[in-house]
Amino acid sequence: MSELEIIKIASHEFDSQAIALAEILHACVNDGASVGFVLPFGLEHSLSFWQGLIGPSLQFESNTLFAAVMDGETVGTVQLNCATMPNQMHRADVSKMLVHPAHQRKGIGKALLIALEQEARLRERSLLTLDTRTGDNAEPLYKSMGFETAGIIPQFCRDTKTERLDSTTYMYKILSS
Per-residue pLDDT of the chain (177 residues), as tens digits, is 689 999 999 999 999 999 999 999 999 999 999 999 999 999 999 999 999 999 999 998 899 999 999 999 999 999 999 999 999 999 999 999 999 999 999 999 999 999 999 999 999 999 999 999 999 999 999 999 999 999 999 999 999 999 999 999 999 999 986
CB-CB neighbours of 83 under 10 Å = 12
What are φ and ψ of residue 140, in 5° steps?
A: -60, -35
Residue 173: C-alpha distances to residues 67, 82, 148 (Å): 21, 15, 6
Domain ranges of the chain: 4-126
Cβ atoms of 65 and 59 closer than 8 Å: no
What is the CATH number that goes with domain 4-126?
Answer: 3.40.630.30
